[in-house]
Amino acid sequence: MSQTRTRSSELYEEALKHIVGGVNSPSRSFKAVGGGAPVFMKRAEGAYFWDVDDNRYIDYLCAYGPIITGHAHPHITEAITRAAQTGVLYGTPTELEIHMAKMLKDAVPSLDKVRFVNSGTEAVMSTIRVARAYTGRNKIIKFAGCYHGHSDLVLVAAGSGPSTLGIPDSAGIPKSIAQEVITVPFNDLNALEEALNAWGAETAAVMVEPIVGNFGMVMPEPGFLEGLCRLARAAGALVIYDEVITGFRFHYGLAQTYGVFPDFAAIEPDLTAMGKIIGGGLPIGAYGGRKSVMDQVAPLGPAYQAGTMAGNPASIASGIACLEVLQEAGVYERMDALAAKLADGLQASANRHGVPLTINRIRGSLSTHFCDHPVTNYEQSQDTDGAMFGRFFKLMLEQGICLAPSKYEAWFLTTAHTEADIDATLEAAEHAFAAL
Residues in the chain: 436
Give least dist CB 30 to ligand PMP, A.
Answer: 18
**Of 5 and 361, which CB lies nearer to ligand PMP in the complex structure?**
361
Burial level of 176, CB count in 10 A (0-12/13-18/19+)? exposed
The question of whether 242 is a catalytic residue gets the answer yes
| Nearest-angstrom CA–CA distance, 104 and 31 | 37
The SS3 assignment for 5 reads coil
What φ, ψ does residue 423 adopt, rounded to 5°?
-60, -45
CA-to-CA distance for 12 and 15, rounded, in angstroms? 5
Out of 245, 395, 422, 429, which residue is the one contacting ligand PMP (CB under 6 A)? 245
Report, in Å, the least distance between residue 420 CB and ligand PMP: 29
Point out which span in 118-126, 160-168, 225-233, 423-431 binds ligand PMP (CB under 6 A): 118-126
The residue among 30 and 64 lying less far from ligand PMP, judged by its C-beta, is 64
**Which of 44, 181, 232, 244 is in the footprint of ligand PMP by CB under 6 A?**
244
Q: Rounded CA gap, 377 and 388, in Å?
A: 20
Question: ∠413-415-421 over CA atoms, to 5°?
Answer: 60
Neighbouring C-beta atoms of residue 409, cutoff 10 Å: 22
Question: Applying CB under 6 A, does 242 fall inside the site for ligand PMP?
Answer: yes
Q: Which stretch binds ligand PMP (CB under 6 A): 43-51, 128-136, 241-249, 361-369?
A: 241-249
Decide if 79 contacts 319 (C-beta within 8 A): no
Beta bridge partners of 168: 156
276 annotated active-site: yes
Query: Please, what is the minimum distance in Å from the beta carbon of residue 25 to ligand PMP?
Result: 8
**Phi, psi at 119, each rounded to 5°:** -160, 165
51-70: contacts with ligand PMP (CB under 6 A): 64
* 170-209 binders of ligand PMP (CB under 6 A): 209
* Candidate list 142, 276, 336, 378, residue with the active-site label: 276
Q: Is 147 a catalytic residue?
A: yes
Q: Rank residues 148 and 361 by Cβ distance to ligand PMP and give the closer one.
A: 148
Of the pair 275, 311, the CB lying nearest ligand PMP is at 275
Give the chain's radius of gyration (CA, Å): 21
Reduce the DSSP state of residue 91 to 3 states and report it. coil
Task: Considering the candidates 134, 147, 241, 287, report the single residue annotated as catalytic.
Answer: 147
- Transcribe 393-422 into DSSP letters: HHHHHHTTEE--SSTTPPEE--TT--HHHH
Q: Out of 51, 242, 336, 385, which one is annotated catalytic?
A: 242
* Residue 139 touching ligand PMP (CB under 6 A): no
Binding of residue 148 to ligand PMP (CB under 6 A): yes
Contact 72, 81 (CB under 8 A): no
CB of 312 to ligand PMP, least distance (A): 15
| 287: nearest Cα among 119, 121, 127 | 127
Cα(9)–Cα(12) distance, integer angstroms: 5
Our CB check for ligand PMP shows the closer of 148 and 417 to be 148
Instruction: Pick the closer one to ligand PMP by CB: 113 or 150.
Output: 150
Q: How many residues bind ligand PMP (CB under 6 A)?
A: 15
* Active site amino acids: 147, 242, 276
Contact residues: ligand PMP, CB under 6 A: 64, 119-121, 124, 147-149, 209, 213-214, 242, 244-245, 275
